[in-house]
Amino acid sequence: MTNNGLDINHTYLGIELGSTRIKGTLIDEQHKPIFTSEFAWENKYEEGLWTYNLNELWSGIQCIFKSISNQVLEKHGKALTRVGSICFSAMMHGYLPFDKDGSQLTAFRTWRNTNTEEASKELSSLFKFNIPHRWSIAHLYQAILNEEEHINQIDYITTLAGYVHWKLTGSKVLGVGDASGVFPINSKNGDYDASMIKNFDELIAQNSLDWNLSDVLPEIKYAGEEAGILSEEGARLLDPTGILEAGIPLAPPEGDAGTGMVATNSIEKLSGNVSAGTSIFSMTVLDRDLKKYYKEIDIVATPAGDPVAMVHCNNFTSDINDWFKMFTEMFGLFGLTIEQSDLYENLFKKAMEADENTGDITVCSYYAGEPITRFQEGRPVMVRKPDSELNLANFMLSHIYSSLATLRIGMDILIESEDIKINQMNGHGGFFKTEIVSQQIMADVLNVPVSVLETSGEGGAWGAAILAAYAERGEKEQDLDEYLSTEVFASSDSNLRNPLKKGRDRFNRYLERYYSVLHVERKAIEKL
C-alpha cells in the first residue's frame, strides 16, 4: 500500500524508552528518518528505589505512535495502518519479575539502583566475572538475599524492552545485547553461560524455590532473527484507535547500549562509542578476552553477539541540569525567557575559556550511587578554596569535567591495564548537541580521537528502526557490521576531533583533585 509516494510496507518504526524521554522514529527504505515524536517521562524515587510507572510507559508509547501516525496522515493523506517491521529498545538492565499469570510482582527497579552491593559482590566472586549492581541477576539475587515475599512466585524476569515486546507479541525474548545485561553470555556459543547458571542454581538451592534460573530467563535472539509478530492485543496496546493492523513482525528488543552502537556504526572490533545523556557509558568492541575481570568494566554484547567492554556511569547531566534550571529561574526574575538549547550551547562554549586549573574548583556530581568509585548513594558537592577563581567558565568546565571523570577512571583500565588500542570513539546523545565543544572536551578527557556522525543526533530510536529494517531481511544476507557500513552509513559524513595537549593536561590536573574530593563526597553521604 502506497500513501501518495510513501510505501508504508517499507517503513520501519523504532521506539526507545530512555531515562528522560520516550522517542519514536519512522524511517524509509534508505534508513532516513521521516517522522519522529517524543514523550517526556521521569524516574521517581519511591520506598528507597528508583522506578518508573509502567502505566505512564504505555501512555507514552501510545502518544508516540499516535503522533507519528498523524504526521503520516497529514503529509500523505492516509493512516499508518502498518509498517514493515518494529523494534523496541530501552535503558538496559534493571528488574521486572512476573508470576505465571503475567502479573507484575514488584515495581520496576531501574539501572540507577545500587542497593545490590551484596549480591553484586558475591556473584562476581562466584562467577569470576563482573556482575554490576544494575544487572537483572544482581537484582534477582539481592531479592533472594532479602527474602522478599515475591521470589517464590517468579515465573519470568525481563528488561523494560523485553517487557514491551512480550506484551505486544506474546514472545518472551531478548536481543543478545540486552540479554547480556540480564545474565552473562558465553560469546563462543552465544547463549547464557551454562556453567554460571549451574553455579547460581546451586547457590540458591537452599532457598527451595519452585524454579531454576534457566526457567525464568528470556530466550536470546540475534539481530536479524525472527522475534515475534504483533498480536491483535498488542496492536490495541500500541494503537487503541484500532487503525494499526496486527501481524507486523518485530525485531529482537534491544538495550539502549546496543541501539547506540548501531546508530553510531560502532559494531566492528576495536571501534567504540560514548553515549552521553542522563547517564554516560562507553562501549568498546573487543578483539580478545580481557586478562581478568574488573569491577569497573562490564562485558556485554553487540546486537550481533560480539563481546563488548562497557564502562557505565550512573551520573552525568543531572547535577548540571539542576544548575541550569536555577539559571533559567534567575533570568525569569528579569523577565527574560532563555531557550534551553541556547543556554546549554552558550554555557558549554563559555567553558572552553576556563583557565589551566579550572579555577581550582572541584565538583563531585553524584546524584545517585556510582559503583565504579564504590558509592551506593550520591550527594552533589562543589569544593573550592577561598582564593579559587570562581567565574562562569571555570564553574562550567569543572562541572563538565566532573561528569566525565568517572568514565575516564574506567577507560584507563582498558587503555592502560589491558592495552586495548581504540582507534576512535563515536559520540552520541544530548551532550554532543553542542558541536565541536563537547566533542573536543571528550577527546581531551579520554585521550582518544572522538568522531560525531552527522546522524548522531538521531539517537537510539533511529538505531532501533535500523534494526527493524535489518530484521525484515529474514535470513541475513549480510552481517550487521557490513549492513551498517554499506547500506546505512556509506555516504555519512563525520567530524573527527583529536585530543589537544592543553585540554588533556588541564583535565589530568583536574582528575588529581577529583580523587581527593571523593573523600569529601564520602563524608557528605555519611553526614547529610
**What are the structural domains, with CATH classification, of the chain?**
2-264+460-488 (3.30.420.40), 318-454+494-527 (3.30.420.40)
Residue 289 has pLDDT above 70, yes or no: yes
Angle between helices 437-446 and 340-351 (to 10 degrees): 50
Q: How many CB atoms lie under 10 A from the CB of residue 332?
A: 11
Q: Model confidence over 316-365: pLDDT tens digits?
A: 989 999 999 999 999 999 999 999 889 999 999 999 999 999 999 999 99
Q: Residue 261 region, left (φ>0) first, then alpha (ψ -120 to 50), else beta?
A: alpha
**Residue 59: other Cβ atoms inside 10 A:** 14
Ramachandran region, residue 498 (left: φ > 0; alpha: ψ -120 to 50; beta: rest): beta
Contact 192, 185 (CB under 8 A): yes
Give Dmax over CA atoms of the chain in angstroms.
Answer: 70
Residue 476, pLDDT above cutoff 80: no
- Cβ(377)–Cβ(141) below 8 Å: no
Q: Residue 27, SS3?
A: strand
Instruction: Read off the pLDDT of each residue in 50-61 and give the average, rounded to a whole number.
Output: 95
Cβ contacts of residue 496 below 8 Å, gap of 6+? Answer: 424, 449, 450, 451
pLDDT of residue 4: 57
Model confidence at 386, in pLDDT bands (50, 70, 90)? very high
* Residue in this structure with the C-alpha cell 517524543, named with its chain if needed: 38
Q: How far is CA 258 from CA 22, 130, 306, 327, in A?
A: 16, 19, 11, 35
Q: What's the rounded mean pLDDT across residues 92-117?
A: 94
Mean pLDDT for the chain overall: 93
Q: Is 5 helix (H, G, I), strand (E, B) or coil?
A: coil
Q: How many CB atoms lie within 10 A of CB 205?
A: 10
Residue 456 has what pLDDT? 61
- For residues 394 and 400, what is the distance between their CA atoms, to the nearest angstrom? 10
